[in-house]
Amino acid sequence: MRVDIVSIFPEYFAPLDLSLIGRARANGTLRLAVHDLRGWTHDVHRTVDDTPYGGGPGMVMRPEPWGEALDALAPAELTPPRLLVPSPAGVPFTQAMAHELAAEPHLLFACGRYEGIDQRVLDHAATRMPVTEVSLGDYVLFGGEVAVLVILEAVTRLLPGVLGNAGSLAEESHAHGLLEAPMYTKPATWRGLPVPEVLRSGDHGRIARWRRDEALVRTGRRRPDMLTGLDPQSLDKRDVAA
Ligand SMILES: Nc1cc(-c2ccc3cc[nH]c3c2)n[nH]1
């Protein structure tokens, strides 16, 4: 997968040299480049923002630098990338979207700052590539950079070979539409607190059912909204009876 990121704060992405993403870059699984938007400005002050039409607080990011950046990183003669623009007004980023993006050959991230990017940048880009404004949640950040770090982590961990133990993808939260069950490791008793006996029983069927029950209870308590979409057929008969 190829990933290009455009930002006025490229140094925000130094963490992408670390850990599993850093290893994915080193072994070629992930080809990632970070670009400074100011590289597409031509004035002595390298201006990227201006006052908003219609008035209002703050500044808006000018369309010209963004237009040149997207032209350079998504040239007409190549297969267009998918353009992702973090925004409080975007569609919610979900694990399902992470899987969708993990299948894309080329992702292009536009990191806004100030009050956002001139809308015409997204409208013009949409004439030649898929554009998705994406939100991490109902809260407001200073800009898109942190959102891109989150999205990139969620997506790249799904790429083949990035996670040492791919099995962990199968049981994690949101993998089956539920939150994951509690996890335990040694010692068997810690500060007087025992590990649930079932997990030490060696009965894998009982353990699987216990984990499923715990996931259902935890999801019902913390995220009842996730249960509305759950297919009752996916529960085993004992779950429904309980
Ligand atoms: N979910 C979420 C996204 C954002 C966001 C994304 C880009 C910009 C640009 C300026 N402020 C921004 C905020 N806040 N919260």
Domain ranges of the chain: 2-156, 173-241
User: Which pLDDT does position 167 carry in this prediction?
Assistant: 66
pLDDT lower than 70: segments of the chain: 166-168, 171, 229-230, 232, 234-242
Q: Is 8 in the pocket of ligand 1 (CB under 6 A)?
A: no
Q: Which amino acid is at 37?
A: L
Ligand 1 atom nearest 93 alpha carbon: 1
Look at strands 189-190 and 193-194 and give their pairing.
antiparallel
Q: Is 137 in the pocket of ligand 1 (CB under 6 A)?
A: yes
Cβ atoms of residues 10 and 34 within 8 Å: yes
Q: Which two tokens stand for residue 18?
A: 């670390």
Q: How far apart are CA 83 and CA 5, in angstroms?
A: 10
Helix H segments across 126-203?
145-156, 167-171
User: Which pLDDT does position 239 carry in this prediction?
Assistant: 44
Q: For 78-98, how does the pLDDT look when each residue is reduced to its tens digit (9 = 90+)? A: 999 999 999 999 999 999 999
Q: Whose CA is nearest to atom 8 of ligand 1?
A: 143
Q: How far apart are CA 87 and CA 109, in angstroms?
A: 11
Q: Is 7 in the pocket of ligand 1 (CB under 6 A)?
A: no
Q: How much distance in Å is there from the Cα of 144 to the middle of ligand 1?
A: 5
User: Which pLDDT does position 96 carry in this prediction?
Assistant: 95
User: Which pLDDT does position 171 carry in this prediction?
Assistant: 67
Q: How far apart are CA 112 and CA 169, in angstroms?
A: 31
Q: How much distance in Å is there from the Cα of 49 to the middle of ligand 1?
A: 16
User: Which pLDDT does position 208 carry in this prediction?
Assistant: 97
Ligand 1 atom nearest 138 alpha carbon: 1
CA-atom Rg of the chain in angstroms: 22
Q: How much distance in Å is there from the Cα of 189 to the middle of ligand 1?
A: 44
Query: CATH homologous superfamily of domain 173-241?
Result: tRNA(m1g37)methyltransferase, domain 2 (1.10.1270.20)
Q: Does domain 2-156 have CATH number 2.40.50.140?
A: no
User: Which pLDDT does position 20 carry in this prediction?
Assistant: 86
Q: Whose CA is nearest to atom 15 of ligand 1?
A: 140
> Please, which residues have CB within 8 angstroms of residue 61's CB and are 6 or more apart in sequence?
48, 49, 112, 113, 114, 116, 117, 118, 121
